[in-house]
């Protein structure tokens, strides 16, 4: 009987730990979704909320800072009809205390200057938790397709 009770307690604790891990993974993914929402909204303040001050973006063979991303994606992007819809398909997400990393497919349907295009990437991100918020410290992007 004691062995059965011990087994049930162990099983319950394993389920609780799995639920906590899932909640942590969801929080990481939610921060990333909010970052892309900020890009879609051209909201540099919100974008800064989900990035560390020293964040690096590896895009198209170049190294970008947060200022580079804001300049290229927000300041230089003044099309009146701009619309960006992001679809992230998470491949894996891992959380280890205050550090997390995730890999995903990113598809953006973009309308600007009367033209629509679709861009697809596969991306890997490293995030850190600062004051209970998951923030991107490093994002590596590989272009898959541009239409």
CA distance 80 to 94: 39
Domain with residue 67: its CATH number is 3.10.450.50
- Residue 17 sits in which domain range? 2-146
Residues 63-114: tens digit of each pLDDT: 999 999 999 888 888 888 999 999 999 999 999 999 999 999 999 999 989 9
Per-residue tokens: 78:
């003044």
Task: Decide: helix, strand or coil at residue 142.
Answer: strand
Per-residue tokens: 138:
């490093």
CA distances from 14 to 4, 5, 20, 21, 109 (A): 15, 14, 10, 11, 40
Q: Give the distance, in angstroms, between the CA of residue 28 and the centroid of all CA atoms in the same chain.
A: 7
Q: How many distinct structural domains can be found in the chain?
A: 1
Residues 30-70: tens digit of each pLDDT: 999 999 999 999 999 999 999 999 999 998 889 999 999 99
Q: What does the mean pLDDT of the chain come to?
A: 87
């Amino acid at each position: 009987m004691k062995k059965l009770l011990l087994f049930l307690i162990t099983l319950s604790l394993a389920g609780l730990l799995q639920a906590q891990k899932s909640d942590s993974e969801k929080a990481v993914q939610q921060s990333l979704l909010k970052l892309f929402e900020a890009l879609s909204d051209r909201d540099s303040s919100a974008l800064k909320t989900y990035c560390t001050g020293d964040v690096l973006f590896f895009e198209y063979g170049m190294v970008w800072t947060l200022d580079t991303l804001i300049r290229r994606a927000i300041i230089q992007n003044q099309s009146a009809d701009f619309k960006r819809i992001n679809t992230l398909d998470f491949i894996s997400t891992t959380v280890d205390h205050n550090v997390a990393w995730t890999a995903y497919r990113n598809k953006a349907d973009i309308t600007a200057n009367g033209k629509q295009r679709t861009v697809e990437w596969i991306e890997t991100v490293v995030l850190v938790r600062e004051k209970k918020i998951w923030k991107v410290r490093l994002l590596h992007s590989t272009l898959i397709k541009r239409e």
